[in-house]
Amino acid sequence: MNDSEALEVAFDDDVSGFIIEAIQGVAGLYEASNQFLQKAQDLCEKHQAVFILDEVQSGAGRTGKFFAHQHANIRPDIITLAKGMGNGFPVASVLISPKIEPWHGMLGTTFGGNHLACAASLAVLEVLTKEELMKNAATLGAYVASELEGFSAVKEVRGKGLMIGAEFDFPVADLRRKLLFEHKIFTGSAANKNTLRLLPSLAVTKQELDQFFEALKIELKT
């Protein structure tokens, strides 16, 4: 991740495609730099490889823009999207660039075009727009990052918008249990066992976030 020289060495005309999360989710909220993503796009164009962005966790407004890769001003050939686009309803989609010419039989699906899933997704888009939830994600995401950086036990804050990872100087499993059972606050884990993963509702309020920070202060005894 973020080693542009190694990426260039790895590419040749045998590479058919390159897939990446602009912000890694379960891995621990590590971000691909704008330079790295732009380099990947350039190499895909040079070697005629397909540039694919996995936006399953980071899409649908979570980072303050509809897609996380938009922060890097790039345009992938294929985008995968799910989770947030249905707000809990099981739905997913694949977005394909117009430069990839479609042909009959290109895509096969068992549940594709499900009317209920489409209605749920349209409702999510309407609420995102009407309630300005992407703006809320950007504004409160900056607030969360700022507050987390004030804790001495937090060594690094990663992510964008309301897709945030806080890396502590200790494994967070016990902290997560205390937040859940003592304060009724659910947080996420990551492959990096010292990282607390935060992905609250895009409609979260500052008051609700402050409840989390108060609970965190109690458990960290700060």
Instruction: Write out pLDDT tens, residues 13-45.
Output: 999 999 999 999 999 999 999 999 999 999 999
Interatomic CA distance for residues 74 and 45, integer angstroms: 12
Gap between the terminal Cα atoms of the chain: 34
Instruction: Provide the 8-state DSSP code for 30.
Output: P
The domain boundary, picked from 130, 148, 170, lies at 130
Would you tell me how many other CB atoms lie within 10 Å of the CB of residue 124? 21
CATH label of the domain that carries residue 76: 3.40.640.10
Interatomic CA distance for residues 119 and 124, integer angstroms: 9
Q: Do 112 and 141 reside in the same domain of the chain?
A: no
CA R_g for the chain: 19
Q: Do 97 and 148 reside in the same domain of the chain?
A: no
Share in percent of the chain as helix, strand, coil (round to 5): 40, 15, 45
Interatomic CA distance for residues 13 and 43, integer angstroms: 10
Interatomic CA distance for residues 119 and 177, integer angstroms: 36
The domain boundary, picked from 111, 130, 149, lies at 130
Domain that holds residue 82: 4-130
Q: Do 172 and 191 reside in the same domain of the chain?
A: yes
Residue 222 has pLDDT above 80, yes or no: no
Q: What's the total number of domains in the chain?
A: 2
Q: What is the mean pLDDT of residues 76-95?
A: 94
Q: Do 116 and 150 reside in the same domain of the chain?
A: no
Dihedral sign for Cα atoms in the order 151, 157, 159, 161: positive
Q: Do 140 and 46 reside in the same domain of the chain?
A: no
Q: Do 18 and 115 reside in the same domain of the chain?
A: yes
Dihedral sign for Cα atoms in the order 80, 86, 88, 89: negative
The domain boundary, picked from 130, 152, 174, lies at 130
Q: Do 143 and 104 reside in the same domain of the chain?
A: no
Contact 176, 187 (CB under 8 A): yes
Mean pLDDT of the chain: 95
What is the tens place of the pLDDT at every residue in 165-219?
Answer: 999 999 999 999 999 999 999 999 999 999 999 999 999 999 999 999 999 999 9
Q: Do 24 and 76 reside in the same domain of the chain?
A: yes
Q: Do 172 and 90 reside in the same domain of the chain?
A: no
Q: Which pLDDT score is estimated for 14?
A: 96
How far is Cα of residue 87 from the mean position of the Cα atoms in its chain?
A: 14
Contact 11, 43 (CB under 8 A): yes
Q: Which pLDDT score is estimated for 112?
A: 85
Q: Do 11 and 121 reside in the same domain of the chain?
A: yes
- Of the pLDDT bands very low, low, confident and very high (cuts 50, 70, 90), residue 105 is confident
Q: Do 153 and 116 reside in the same domain of the chain?
A: no
C-alpha angle 69/30/82, rounded to 5°? 50
Q: Which pLDDT score is estimated for 4?
A: 95
Q: Do 173 and 160 reside in the same domain of the chain?
A: yes
